[in-house]
Structure 1
Amino acid sequence: YDRLLPCPGDDLPVRIEHLFVEKNGNVVDYLCQALSLPSLYVNDLIEFGAVYHALRCSEPPETAPKEHMEFYKRALAMDLPRVKGMSVQESQKARRIVSKHEEVEAGSYMRVHVHPRRFPRQETLAGCFFSLVYTRVFFVVRCYEVDWKSRILAENDLFVVLDKPAGVSVGGSVDNLEESCVTFASRALGMAFPLLVTHQIDNCTEGCVVLAKDKDFVSNFNRLLRTRKVDKRYLVLAAFPVPLGIVSHYMRPDHFAPHLLSQDKRQGWHLCSMEVLQCHQVEWPSEARLRENGVSNCELEHDGHAYECEVKLLTGKTHQVRAQFAALGAPILGDTIYIPAAIARRQNRAIDPVLRDDGQWSEEREERWILHHGSSAPKLAIGLQASSISWIGDTTIDILLVDEEPIDRESSQSNFSFHASSPWWRAT
């Protein structure tokens, strides 16, 4: 260990350390000693938002590994810090350490994500030294090579609209707040405080994202999203054509990918609907363009053609467009999670026990179906762009004071509409 930068050649294996602070002291000094890490690396972890602290350790769930339960039992036997004026739940709530100057108290709990999640992309540099030809391979993280100012589509006193690049998360992750759109867009605009997230799109998706400058805008914009008053359009590059019109499925409420879909309504499953507005044949991207954007071919067979579709999102569930196109037998180019399953389903439709109820569902069949999906997320881009976003709001008092009744287009109401630049797969 030295520093978190330059980026490692690949995401390092997950390493999360759970610690009880043995004596009062500075957080950096304690972690350097407890984890045998250099101070510069610990400082980087704090800067990335990968270090958490709580006055007391919370009880692990029943499904937690055995070592976590043993760790918790040891905690119960220790002298814990005073939590006067705090409930037990409040004392167990872990918060991010945000400064290397913070002090930690003996008996308190710390969680350290030693290997924050990164999204490295391989680059190859060829060169010649006298008669010796060499190739140098190095790795970069997308956020450090983006011209962020050129990605700002619009800005006013309340919000910023960003043309998000693929390969960068919108608001960061539990172990990496630093390498995010929020952080880099805020710096590009010279803001004293970071922008706020109003909605999410996947790391591998590019296109329009609305970021807020204050919490009131976040609340109001989220209300518009809930009442479906925000129009979101996507461009999709699919391996096969799909029919025009409204497509609906039901999604199992999973926290992690893959997200399973059914054509039949099931108790507790969420409705997913989208409208395919256009679908036309285009050329399959060249190998150079795929490589430039980190798009995996995933062994998809093709005849030199792909299909660009315009989609209007009617509901907004995680992975919705990706999972629905895969369920239609037209997976999105580069989608390493859903392409393997779509290929398997095209070869044998009965292999998916969820999409259609054949009366022979079993937990074992479902687990086998999950294993047909890819295990690793796309490294950079896939054929998916949030191409436009629009809504109607008041620019003078509260930009989003819109009733749930039909909108009266008076002079105080403004129509906000923003469009992303050309998607990566189109020739420029």
Structure 2
Amino acid sequence: MEMASMTTNTGASTSPVAPHMKWFMDDRFGMFIHWGLYAIPARGEWVRSLEKLSVADYEPFFEEFNPIKYKPKEWAKAAKAAGMKYAVMTAKHHDGFCLFDSKLTDYKATNTPAGRDLIREYIEAFRSEGLRVGLYYSIIDWHHEDYPHFGDKIHPMRDNEDYRNHQIEFDRYLTYMHGQVKELLTNYGTIDVMWFDFSYDDMTGEKWKATELVRMMRGLQPDIVIDNRLGGDKKSAEPEVYAGDFMSPEQLLPPEGVVNEAGEPLPWEACITLNDHWGYCAGDNNYKSPKTVIRGLVECVSKGGNLLLNVGPNAKGEIPRQSLEILAEVGQWMDDNGSSLYGCGPAKLEKPEWGRYTQNGNYLYAHIYDRGMGPINFRGLNGKIKRARLLADGTEIKVETPWNAWEYPHDAFISFSGASLPDEVNTVVELELSENALDN
């Protein structure tokens, strides 16, 4: 099987990339969607665990779940307009509630006032916009009788004495869990990503019969991309079958990307919330700015990673207005500058002091955040740049050595006429390099 190569931020080492991962590493930007019964209490997706709510306490939300404004085609259009290329939506979160029509449980959207398979609608809507589709599936289940209750680290009934002697048959739960994954990979056509969440303590790896699970999945959909949260050591020289295709850092961007034990770069995707919660939280207005999102996406790509940016729709099925406004502004920037990210990765250069580099073949993209004083310095690129253009509109930018830069013969320079940058969020200059310019 032919393998592509991937470079680090210095270009010093490469590692093979499986063909089924190429689209993932080219598309770079996706939408995460956390949605379920927890949108009704609107205090975040962990409300059952944090408030130690019983099944009975939580049942009223099941009985009233009726997202009358759920229009996944609008979600898909918003994602596409933002420059996102794929999406991942919660088919089942930790509370055990299924947004899909599983034949293995009654605890599903089709038995609520919603009365229909909401995952099918999501898949069809996003596919119609040309976006790849992924499914989040929690391997944890606080609703299932055979999932550990008392004494578990996070179960809502972990401290409830009534459950101290509650007997479970964990294998029966595993049969259920594997069966639901099979349903998701059998009943909805091609699924591009399966995003499992999550292993902890001794609940990891073969505790989930993970090898058996992944082999079943690969048998059904050989090209599916799987995250690393079943457990295992993706960074080892010989990762387990279930170690996944990519690393999934949460709520942080790795300082220098992600590498294995040999120092070779690994595919990774940072999952990040737009505010401080995954599921809808009515009181959380701490939203990231479009500038923060854009620069965060650039940082991911400059380190060889993706950004999976979350939205948490409300109980009626609407993505919050603030989220849509941010996505729209990001999309405007991506319309002009997306080619500096799609299909790009780390550059064979150190991080510049004025911003970041991304690279795609002989095209080097300078993401300039800081105007600074004097000309912009491209370290070590003198004589290696064939052409420079402002990416947003194609304006020619002259590459020349100023009279006062004679002490820096190996560097190239550009100048902006004004005291401010053309785009204060991120001015992108496309540098077409001469063949093999960065190989030495």
TM-score bracket for the superposition, by shorter chain length? under 0.3
> Taking structure 1 as the reference length, what is the TM-score of the superposition?
0.22
Bigger strand fraction = 1
Higher-RCO chain (CA-CA 8 Å, sequence separation at least 6): 2
